[in-house]
């Protein structure tokens, strides 16, 4: 298994209260699977995604990704692990506005022992893959939302991580742009063997995934008990 | 590590903030340079004036102020003969009885300024060895010789106090016979009179002090002399110690200089910090994104410090340029003498250190605050 999660629990202390957005969650996913994660607001989707991406550490439970015991890594180790193995795609792209598309995509490569020309070649290839070679020198404010998200995807794949996580990547896009982003993600999973975990509210987006998981109050539910899903 | 271009572009993200940081740090560094040059110049001129080889005989009880001291006329010759081992170039013993008097002088045009007047004989040159007549001649009766920086005190051109011009004490006019220098000392803003003239003008029949220049003699030899001739009621002080004491007398002024500089600087630093807090706070999500990519907090902190240093060191450079144009070589007339502000290597280092400290220590609090929130929280912030 590429992702193995057992009894994963995450809780926060908020004043005197203990909030537990994830409780005893278990999950497995093989390499190359495209997973969609759905669920109502506050159900713990982002919390789970952040744990899988090594952005945060669980309170208890096991989290293995490609034989890395991610749950036991220190903060510094997590930072290093992310830089090699994870690409994170955000709903609002999170590009650095003062850097060009090319420079944004180059960011993960600056952490690797690569020559300038190697970086150039890899960043160009990533931009080419998302179809934005001609926008390399543009800065984010000069790009459309769909283009920004494609630059963000190029940045997430440029260092060739096995795992991609996306938190509502189409949540801020119009239908047309959303479709092209979803096509891109599908291709990354099918043609490039990336394992993808995507949080989404949109059933049409979830439909492109190999498997759809439903979260509710920090636990996976199957079949979903939400009214919208009940209809289908 | 983030490339330096990231730091540079960030600087230009907000031109008004850049302007404030550069201007603010320039102001702070300039203030520090000015305060350092001012206090250093003040100390320096007093240190340079006193010589360890000179001993001053003053009236017992007037050790703090030669101007208030009274010494019997006989003390000059008594000391010259009784103390052996005084310097005696060309066979003349270096013992100079002098009158010191603080009084206003008037120059042509009616401009009046207080000045330190010194009544001397030719022997004064044997003890004040740094004094050299650079123009004209030593004063005869009816004449005065003015220090090289005297004109600064009146705020006039050097030409207005050139030999041949007149200067008045009350209603009595004196012709300027010459100009003297005594590099780096307070003597350069004194006016030297013929001793008898000054005695008449001030209606006194005593000296203010007798200056002795030691050769083989020790300070103790002079001290013993004051004990042997206790009828003269003298007290011996080393000239360098006298000026050291005078310097400590001005310590509150130096402290005030620093306090004033610190207050203005604190305002600039406070304003700068505020802008920096706001500027960095707006970048919390970006910092979190860079961390999610794999940049360490240390790398980001370094980039932020780099960014600030670029601005504060530019400000420091600006401060140096301004200081070179407006401070370096500026002479400041004070009651105790005129001194010149100089950009010495020590002062330049102080300014540079200030710029570096502003860029690093000034950046750390806002930068750390920007990097402090947990990653998931920071990523959610807008
Ligand atoms: N750092 C935190 N401190 C305290 N509570 C938190 C923290 N992070 C998340 N939570 C809480 O955990 C719960 C789940 O949050 P999460 O962001 O995972 O939900 P979500 O499913 O992504 O919701 P949405 O669809 O609105 O993005 C929420 O109740 C949230 O308030
Ligand atoms: Mg969420």
Alpha-carbon span A168 to A179, nearest angstrom = 13
Mean pLDDT of chain A: 94
B379 interaction partners in chain A (CB closer than 8 Å):
50, 55, 90, 94
Stronger pLDDT, B278 or B335, i.e. the higher one: B278
Please indicate whether, in this complex, the C-beta atoms of A90 and B13 are within 8 angstroms of each other.
Answer: no
Nearest Cα to Cα of residue B94 among B220, B210, B228: B210
Q: Is A228's pLDDT higher than 80?
A: no
Higher-pLDDT residue of A225 and B7 is: B7
Among candidate residues B53, B99, B56, B101, the one with its CA nearest the CA of residue B79: B56
Longest Cα separation, chain A: 55
Task: Give the three-state DSSP class for B148.
Answer: coil
Mean pLDDT of A29-58: 96
Name the residue with the closest Cα to ligand 1, atom 12.
A21
A–B CB contacts, 8 A cutoff, strictly below: 58
Identify residues of A whose CB sits under 8 angstroms from chain B CBs: 46-47, 50, 53, 55-56, 76, 79-80, 82-84, 88, 90, 94, 96, 98-99, 103, 107-108, 110-111, 155
Mean pLDDT value across residues B264-273: 91
Indicate which atom in ligand 1 lies nearest the CA of residue A201.
25
Q: Where residue B65 falls among pLDDT bands split at 50, 70, 90?
A: confident
3-class secondary-structure state, position B143: strand
Which of A82, A98, A109, A171 would best serve as a mutation to test chain B binding (most B beta carbons within 10 A)? Answer: A98
Residue A224 has a pLDDT of 55
Q: What is the mean pLDDT of residues A32-58?
A: 96
CA angle, residues A179, A181, A182, in degrees to nearest 5 = 65
Pocket of ligand 1 (CB under 6 A): A 12, 14, 19, 21, 39, 41-47; B 376-377
Q: Please tell me what DSSP assigns to residue A160.
A: -
Render pLDDT for A106-131 as a digit per residue (tens, 0 to 9).
Answer: 999 999 999 999 999 999 999 999 99
Question: Mind listing the pLDDT tens digit for each residue in A53-102?
Answer: 999 999 999 999 999 999 999 999 999 999 999 999 999 999 999 999 99
Question: Which pLDDT score is estimated for A152?
Answer: 98
Window 281-320 of B, Cβ < 8 Å to A: 285-286, 289-296
Token pair 């050291």 is found at: B244
- pLDDT-derived band at A230 (thresholds 50, 70, 90) equals very low
Give percent above pLDDT 90 in chain B. 76
Sign of CA dihedral B234, B236, B242, B246: negative
Q: How far is A209 from chain B (nearest CA, A)?
A: 24
Question: For residue A86, which of A170, A160, A26 has the smallest C-alpha distance?
Answer: A160
Does A99 contact B296 at a Cβ distance shorter than 8 Å? no
Please, which residues bridge with residue A5 across strands? Answer: A27, A63
Asked whether the beta carbons of residue B292 and residue A55 sit closer than 8 angstroms, the reply is yes
What DSSP assignment string belongs to B98-166?
EEEEEEEEEETTS-EEEEEEEEE-TTHHHHSTT-EEEEE----TTEEEEETTHHHHHT--GGGGSTT-E
pLDDT exceeds 60 at position A163: yes
Query: In B316-334, which positions are buried (b, 16+ CB within 10 angstroms) versus exposed (e)?
Result: bbbbbebbeeebbebeebb
For residue A30, what pLDDT is reported? 96
B73 sits in which H/E element = none
Q: Where are the domains of chain B?
A: 4-47+250-380, 61-232
Structure tokens at B68: 């208030």
Q: How far, in Å, is the centroid of ligand 2 from the Cα of A46?
A: 4
The percentage of residues in chain A with a pLDDT greater than 90, rounded to a whole number, is 93
Specify which of A3-7, B106-110, B150-154 reaches the highest per-range mean pLDDT: A3-7
Distance from CA of A115 to the nearest CA of B (A): 14
Nearest to A50 among B291, B295, B376 (CB): B376
Whose structure tokens read 């070679």?
A133
Q: Give contacts of A139 with chain B, Cβ < 8 Å.
A: none
Tell me how far apart the terminal alpha carbons of chain B are, to the nearest angstrom: 25
Coil, strand or helix: which one is A100?
coil
Of A199-213, B62-76, B199-213, B242-256, the one with minimum mean pLDDT is B242-256
Long-range contacts of A208-212 (CB under 8 A, 24+ apart): A208/A34, A208/A36, A208/A182, A208/A183, A209/A34, A209/A35, A209/A36, A210/A33, A210/A34, A210/A35, A211/A29, A211/A33, A211/A34, A211/A35, A211/A36, A212/A35, A212/A36, A212/A37, A212/A38
User: Which ligand sits nearest to residue A217's alpha carbon?
Assistant: 1
Nearest to B237 by CA among B89, B48, B66: B66
- Report the gap between the CA of A230 and the closest CA in chain B (Å): 31
Q: What is the distance between the alpha carbons of residues A153 and A190, in angstroms, rounded to a whole number?
A: 16
What is the SS3 assignment for A88?
A: strand
Q: What ligand 1 atom has the least distance to the C-alpha of A43?
A: 21
Q: Model confidence over B163-198: pLDDT tens digits?
A: 999 999 999 999 999 999 998 888 998 999 999 999
Would the pLDDT of B204 be above 50?
yes
Report yes or no: B219 at the A interface, CB cutoff 8 Å.
no
**How far is the C-alpha of B265 from the C-alpha of B23, rounded, in Å?**
12
Task: With cut-offs at 50, 70 and 90, classify the pLDDT of residue A136.
Answer: very high
As a whole number of angstroms, the distance between CA B74 and CA B91 comes to 20
Residue closest by Cα to atom 3 of ligand 1: A12
Ligand sitting nearest the alpha carbon of A166: 2
Per-residue confidence (pLDDT) for residue B335, from 0 to 100: 67
Measured CA to CA in angstroms, residue B203 lies from B98, B99, B290 at distances of 14, 11, 84
User: What pLDDT shows up at residue A231?
Assistant: 42
Name the helix (H) or strand (E) containing A13: strand A3-14
Instruction: Report the C-alpha gap between B163 and B327 in whole angstroms.
Output: 29
Entry pTM: 0.83
Name the E strands within chain B: 54-59, 95-107, 112-120, 132-136, 143-147, 166-169, 172-181, 190-194, 209-213, 234-238, 331-334, 337-340
Contact B141, B197 (CB under 8 A): yes
Is the predicted pLDDT of residue B374 greater than 70, yes or no? yes
Closest-lying ligand 1 atom to the alpha carbon of residue A199: 22
- Contact between A198 and A166 under an 8 Å Cβ cutoff? The reply is yes
Q: Is residue A225 scored above 70 in pLDDT?
A: no
Instruction: Determine how many CB atoms are found less than 10 A away from the CB of residue B264.
Output: 14
Structure tokens at A153: 């995807």
Domains of chain A: 3-220 (3.40.50.300)
Closest-CA residue to B176 (of B137, B233, B122): B137
In tens, the pLDDT along B130-167 reads: 999 999 999 999 999 999 988 888 888 889 999 999 99
The span from the CA of B126 to the CA of B86, in Å, is: 11
With 90 as the cut, is the pLDDT of residue B251 above it?
Answer: no
Q: Examine the pLDDT at A227 and tell me if it is beyond 70.
A: no
Nearest CA in chain B to A86: B293
The reply to whether residue A47 touches residue B374, judged by beta carbons under 8 angstroms, is no
User: Which pLDDT score, from 0 to 100, does residue B42 have?
Assistant: 85
What mean pLDDT value characterizes chain B?
92
Q: Tell whether the model's pLDDT for residue A229 goes beyond 80.
A: no
Examine the pLDDT at B215 and tell me if it is beyond 90.
yes
């Amino acid at each position: 298994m590429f992702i193995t999660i057992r009894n994963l629990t995450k809780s926060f202390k908020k004043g005197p209260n203990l909030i537990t957005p994830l409780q005893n969650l278990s999950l497995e996913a093989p390499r190359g699977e495209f997973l969609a994660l759905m669920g109502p607001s506050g159900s713990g989707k982002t919390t789970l995604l952040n744990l899988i991406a090594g952005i945060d550490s669980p309170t208890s439970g096991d989290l293995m990704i490609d034989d890395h015991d991610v749950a036991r890594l220190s903060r510094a180790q997590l930072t290093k692990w992310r830089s090699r193995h994870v690409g994170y795609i955000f709903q609002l792209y999170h590009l650095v506005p003062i850097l060009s598309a090319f420079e944004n995509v180059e960011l993960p490569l600056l952490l690797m022992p690569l020559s300038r020309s190697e970086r150039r070649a890899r960043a160009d290839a990533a931009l080419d893959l998302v179809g934005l070679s001609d926008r390399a020198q543009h800065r984010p404010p000069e790009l459309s939302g769909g283009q920004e998200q494609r630059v963000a995807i190029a940045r997430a794949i440029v260092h060739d991580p096995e795992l991609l996580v996306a938190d509502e990547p189409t949540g801020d896009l119009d239908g047309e742009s959303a479709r092209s982003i979803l096509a891109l993600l599908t291709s990354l999973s099918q043609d490039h063997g990336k394992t993808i975990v995507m949080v989404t509210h949109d059933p049409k987006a979830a439909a492109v995934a190999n498997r759809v998981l439903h979260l509710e109050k920090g636990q996976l539910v199957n079949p979903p008990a939400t009214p919208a899903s009940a209809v289908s | 590590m983030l490339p330096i271009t990231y730091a540079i572009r960030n600087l230009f993200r907000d031109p008004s903030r850049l302007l404030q940081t550069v201007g603010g740090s320039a102001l702070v560094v300039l203030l520090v340079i000015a305060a350092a040059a001012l206090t250093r110049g003040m100390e320096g001129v007093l240190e340079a004036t006193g010589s360890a080889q000179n001993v001053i005989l003053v009236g017992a009880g007037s050790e703090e102020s030669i101007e208030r001291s009274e010494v019997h006329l006989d003390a000059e010759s008594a000391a010259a003969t009784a103390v052996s081992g005084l310097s005696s170039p060309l066979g003349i013993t270096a013992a100079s009885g002098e009158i010191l008097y603080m009084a206003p002088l008037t120059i042509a045009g009616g401009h009046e300024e207080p000045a330190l007047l010194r009544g001397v004989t030719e022997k004064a040159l044997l003890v004040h060895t740094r004094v050299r007549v650079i123009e004209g001649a030593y004063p005869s009766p009816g004449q005065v010789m003015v220090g090289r920086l005297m004109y600064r005190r009146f705020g006039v051109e050097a030409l207005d106090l050139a030999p041949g011009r007149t200067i008045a004490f009350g209603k009595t006019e004196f012709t300027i016979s010459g100009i003297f220098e005594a590099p780096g000392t307070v003597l350069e803003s004194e006016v030297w009179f013929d001793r008898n003239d000054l005695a008449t003008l001030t209606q006194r029949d005593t000296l203010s002090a007798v200056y002795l220049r030691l050769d083989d003699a020790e300070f103790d030899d002079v001290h013993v002399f004051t004990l042997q001739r206790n009828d003269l009621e003298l007290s011996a002080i080393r000239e360098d110690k006298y000026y050291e004491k005078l310097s400590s007398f001005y310590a509150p002024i130096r402290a005030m200089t620093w306090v004033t500089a610190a207050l203005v600087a604190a305002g600039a630093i406070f304003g700068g910090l505020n802008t920096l807090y706001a500027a960095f706070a707006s970048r919390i999500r970006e910092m979190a994104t860079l961390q999610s990519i794999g940049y360490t907090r240390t790398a980001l902190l370094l980039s932020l410090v780099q960014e600030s240093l670029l601005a504060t060191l530019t400000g420091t450079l600006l401060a140096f340029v301004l200081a070179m144009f407006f401070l370096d070589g500026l002479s400041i007339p004070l009651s105790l003498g005129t001194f010149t502000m100089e950009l010495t290597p020590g002062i330049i280092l102080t300014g540079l250190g200030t710029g570096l400290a502003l860029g690093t220590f000034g950046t750390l609090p806002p930068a750390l605050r920007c990097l402090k929130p947990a990653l998931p929280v920071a990523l959610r912030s807008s």
